[in-house]
Structure 1
């Protein structure tokens, strides 16, 4: 038996054992990224549903305002959807994501993770208004369609041998183009431009999902210490979270049934 174990050790090349160790570490790293992202999406969903439940009511006596679609708002709902406070609700996630992006290198893993959870909650608060515009059934259908597309695209990015760097640079330029077009359309209010923005947005963030997955995979380094690896996982989760949310929102404009 001892001779057999010695033979097994000698017969496995050192490079093979090292590659197996890297693969195992990479799988654990990517699993952590996806788990963090998934928990972020869960927090966003709970925050969005909880917010809209607190913001609307079926009791006319408890309502302080009624929307054109018939939804009745509580005082909390009026504050976040109709009062000037709505701008704070809209801009708070942007402030949180910039804070995390610029400060993550000086933060502990627990602090960075907590900031990510807070950001995900703020996004949920901001996105709760979609329940006032689209039916719950269409929101659910769009979410699952996005999840299926995201899973397939991320798997492609993880497994492909093709270098997606050139495509990623083009897609990032596309994001800036979308932002400029959205600002212009605030003044034009063009339905045709809005449709084009949504179509391009879905394609851009679909491509970015594959590109970012490959980039996150390539960021893994076996000898990273716990702090660096933890920060990388959180930023990777944030990147994929943003890809998912943006693809969902653009897709919702196609698949969503307005109330």
Structure 2
């Protein structure tokens, strides 16, 4: 359970750092784009649809790569991976933290080096796939399936809502980010308290937070393309958006997995 809490906390930190960097993209004018007058240029609907298709396609690919990696790790490479983990505890922690560095690398280089950012996105997906495989032994196949289906339904619903709604979600998103920071601090404290009850409650709170963040990220990435799509690489923005949404999805999945798993134990 301690490893699960640590992994969940690292995912929360990754998301927080990435959102902070995205808000500063393009001179810091992303979050308040709805409070400004619309850009004085025509938005190419076809271009926007192409961008959204590419972004969600990359996000889906990242989830697929993580799933395949987790499956292969738990089947074909199970013995080798667990032997490595048992003999290299320090290196395992470095690998555990590596996706944070890769995520920051993507946020800094996405608009300048889309190909390199795509490669880093795939590396993040592979590493998280391995890490998911290491904690999956704690849960039943039914738990994993239920968490995945629930996460997919919630994610698709909120992503569609965030993309099509005319309502400004920036305030709700900002509140969710503040709650996420508070949750990270509380989770770090709980790593020393080892309270299963607190972890259970935090998982529900995290699900609520990422429900909001999924909609906000979908709206935000659409707004970024509308306002800045003509100035930067579409491929780079698609990779950055895919990473944002990928982190939303796997955080939802992980928190729901904890909820289903702990409910069954009770």
TM-score by length of 1: 0.79
Structure with higher RCO (Cα < 8 A, 6+ apart): 2
Within the alignment, does 1:253 sit opposite 2:265 as a pair? no
Partner of 1:52: 74
Greater CA drift, 45-54 or 151-160:
45-54
Within the alignment, does 1:166 sit opposite 2:171 as a pair? yes
Residues 86/50 of structure 1: CA separation in 2 closer, same or farther (3 Å cut): same
Unaligned runs of 5+ in 1: 1-17, 57-73
Task: Check conservation: 1:54, 1:77, Cα contact below 8 A.
Answer: no
Partner of 2:44: 22
2:139 pairs, out of 134, 142, 161, with 134
Greater CA drift, 249-258 or 183-192:
249-258
Task: Check conservation: 2:58, 2:242, Cα contact below 8 A.
Answer: yes
Question: 2-side partners of 1:223 and 1:211: how far apart?
Answer: 18
Name the Cα RMSD after superposition. Answer: 2.1
Give 1:139 deviation, angstroms.
0.5
Partner of 1:120: 125
Question: 1-side partners of 2:204 and 2:86: how far apart?
Answer: 27
Task: Check conservation: 2:95, 2:127, Cα contact below 8 A.
Answer: yes
Partner of 2:53: 31
Within the alignment, does 1:157 sit opposite 2:179 as a pair? no
Question: 1-side partners of 2:227 and 2:175: how far apart?
Answer: 30
Alignment of 1:206-221 (within 5 A): 206-221=211-226
Larger radius of gyration: 1
Partner of 2:98: 92
TM-score by length of 2: 0.77
Number of matched pairs: 222
State the SS of the aligned residue for 1:128.
Answer: helix
Per-residue CA distance 1:28-76 (angstroms, 9 max, x = gap): 11111100000000001111111121454xxxxxxxxxxxxxxxxx343
Partner of 1:233: 238
Partner of 1:195: 200
Give 1:250 deviation, angstroms.
0.6
Task: Check conservation: 2:112, 2:233, Cα contact below 8 A.
Answer: no
Question: 2-side partners of 1:230 and 1:112: how far apart?
Answer: 9
Residues 82/136 of structure 1: CA separation in 2 closer, same or farther (3 Å cut): farther
State the SS of the aligned residue for 2:137.
Answer: helix
Unaligned runs of 5+ in 2: 1-40
Give 1:106 deviation, angstroms.
3.7
